[in-house]
Amino acid sequence: MVQSSSVQPYNRRIIASDYSAGTAFPVSENFNDVEYSDSYVVFLRSDGSYEIVDIATNSLLEQTNPTVTAGDIYTYGNRNYEALEDNSDRPDLGAQLEVPTWLDLGYINPLRMFDTKLDSRTTAPSPLTITVTPGMITNGLALFNVSAATVQVTMDDPTDGQVYDSGAIQMLDNSAVNNWWDFFFAPYLEKADLALIDLPPYPDATLTITLSSDGGDVALGEMVLGRVQNIGEAQYGTSVGIIDASTKERDIFGNFEIIERKFSKRAEFDVSVPTSSASGMQRILAQYRATPVVWVGNMGLEATIVYGFYRDFQINFSHYSLSDATITVEGL
């Protein structure tokens, strides 16, 4: 297929066996891509709809977007959409109408781990292997809402070979096992969040993350990669909790109606910072005032690993050499 627009937009069909030209196909508008089969040529127009040419008759069919039935689910681009009614709208445009004809269901499965929604998870049969080449210095990795028995992270540099191997990190959580009764009879719990902030700073390295399970699927809510920035040392006195979006409403008879909804982590970090670094800390926090980042109080203490943004911070010049800071963080 050869595109030409010397007089008007059209495509000329070239027969590869003898390089002879067939009849030109008219195209009423500019287009971005061409696909063809034995019977039809399909042009993707700039507005996202389609034009179809019948090869046998060289005639342009007027159908653009196909008509779909309410309840049908389609993938458009890298997102899934559900038809809310019978329609022929382009999914991404139909989802933005005043009365939507499509419902945006979010990213396709492989991309859910990058959509900043921790409860929207990428799922796959075990093992799930993810290979990422960041193209920049990346010495920090965090995984959130993980469902797996083990996680292993390796880093390979094109020059030095393998430069990091975490080994199989067990996600079994024994923090609630306080006695022999718990050891034998309490249900098994798994860690959901994991942070590694000790990766070597190789700019051209490739990271391989493997999630494994003894049976069934594994899942990952969010993967965050980046450069570690040490702004201080978390101290005892740091507090953690959750922010619950569930509702508990009492009716006129005194009964409660409880609707369970999502929750997010929260933390209030007490931080010790060199007084000489206080201005730098203020500058760094101001830079990320509207950017979700991973906050790590202690890499080995899951409750202090939060992906979100700070609500407030305060630096107190309490001593000549060391100052005290408080950072209030709300998770996504």
pLDDT tens for the chain, residues 1 to 332: 444 444 444 444 444 444 444 444 444 444 455 555 556 666 555 555 566 666 666 665 554 566 778 888 877 778 888 888 888 788 888 888 999 888 988 888 888 899 888 988 998 898 899 999 988 999 999 999 999 999 999 999 999 999 999 999 998 888 878 888 888 887 888 899 999 999 999 999 999 999 999 888 899 999 999 999 999 999 999 999 999 999 999 988 889 999 999 999 999 999 999 999 999 999 999 999 999 999 999 988 999 999 999 999 999 998 889 999 999 999 99
- pLDDT confidence of residue 31: 46
- pLDDT confidence of residue 36: 53
Kindly list the domain boundaries of the chain, sorted by start residue. 2-61, 73-107, 114-226, 233-331
pTM: 0.74
Strand ranges (E), 1-145: 2-4, 10-15, 20-26, 31-36, 40-45, 50-54, 59-61, 73-76, 79-83, 102-107, 122-125, 128-132, 140-144
Strand ranges (E), 84-182: 102-107, 122-125, 128-132, 140-144, 150-157, 161-165, 169-170, 172-173
- pLDDT confidence of residue 76: 77
Angle at 294 between CA 292 and CA 295, to 5 degrees: 115
- What CA–CA distance (Å, rounded) separates 41 from 60? 9
Residue 152 near residue 210, CB atoms below 8 Å: yes
Strand ranges (E), 227-290: 233-234, 239-244, 247-250, 256-259, 263-274
Residue 307 near residue 247, CB atoms below 8 Å: no
CATH superfamily for domain 114-226:
Galactose-binding domain-like (2.60.120.260)
- pLDDT confidence of residue 8: 44
